[in-house]
Amino acid sequence: MVNKNTVWLLLAAFVLPAGLCLFTIGGASAQGIDPATAHDRFDYAEIAKAPAKARTRNNPQEGKPETVLVGKKLFAQHCAECHGSAAEGGKKAPSLRADEVQQATPGALFWVLTNGVVRRGMPVWSRLPEPQRWAIVSYIKTLNVSPSPQRADNTTQ
């Protein structure tokens, strides 16, 4: 005779993972966030806290042909969930298209990525190997284009 606890354990062990697997077939769409609103909700003071030594570091991946593509892939995997798929910012994290980010040195961005902003909800990303973090920095530095008027129109509707 199977006891009651065993039934619940089996439910927890198999029904939940099965439900999760079902999800992989489905999926859900990302939310649209007004970039302007996202910008106002955050400050970028953490970038200025990067030590001088870190700020002046050069990006060793710069100029390598595939770096930006690698960075784009890694951004989608690790950063887009908070910063938005186009880095326009979201409820949880600021826009990376803002001047504060685009004018920062690669070294300063690398430092923020490595150390996170833990008290504001950004995890540390030192788990990613250095070449991958630099690739993300390279990609972010290519985003120095303001959001298109078409997108801005869509988000205000």
Partner 1 sequence: MQLSCHKQHYRLCSLATVLLLFLGARLSWAQESPYIVAYDHYLEEPGNLEVEYFSTLGTQRDGDPFHAYWVELEYGAKAWWTTELYLDGQSTFSQSTVFTGFRWENRFRLLQHEHFVNPVLYIEYEQINGADKIIKEVEGHDIESDNEPNALARRTLKHELELKLLLSKTFNGWNFAVNPLTTKSLSPNEPWEFGYAVGASRPLALNASANSCNLCRENFVAGVELYGGLGDTESFGLHQTSHYLAPALAWNLPSGSAVRISPGFGLNSDSHRLLMRWGLSYEFIGFGERISRLWEKRW
Work out the number of other CB atoms within 10 angstroms of the CB of residue 4: 7
Using DSSP's 3-state secondary structure scheme, residue 35 falls into: helix
Which listed residue (37, 102, 115, 155) binds partner 1 by CB under 8 A?
A: 115
Instruction: Supply the minimum distance, in Å, between the C-beta of residue 44 and partner 1.
Output: 17
Binding segment for partner 1 (CB under 8 A), chosen from 36-44, 76-84, 94-102, 140-148, is 76-84
Total count of residues recorded for the chain: 157
Q: Considering beta carbons, is residue 11 or 45 the nearer one to partner 1? A: 11
Distance between CA atoms of residues 151 and 147, nearest Å = 7
Instruction: Supply the minimum distance, in Å, between the C-beta of residue 77 and partner 1.
Output: 4
For 17, 64, 76, 80, the CA distances from 70, given in Å and listed in that order, are 31, 10, 10, 14
Binding segment for partner 1 (CB under 8 A), chosen from 18-26, 34-42, 99-107, 142-150, is 18-26
Give me the phi and psi of 126, to 5 degrees please.
-70, -10
Site string for partner 1, 84-103 (x = CB under 8 A): -------xx-----------
Number of residues this chain uses to bind partner 1 (CB under 8 A): 51
Alpha-helical regions (H) of 79-141? 80-83, 99-102, 106-115, 130-140
Residue 43, interface with partner 1 (CB under 8 A)?
Answer: no
Please tell me the chain's helix, strand, coil percentages from 3-state DSSP, rounded to the nearest 5: 55, 0, 40
The residues binding partner 1 (CB under 8 A) are 2-3, 5-6, 8-9, 11-13, 15-17, 19-20, 22-24, 26-28, 30, 66, 69-70, 72-74, 77-78, 81, 91-92, 114-124, 126-132, 135
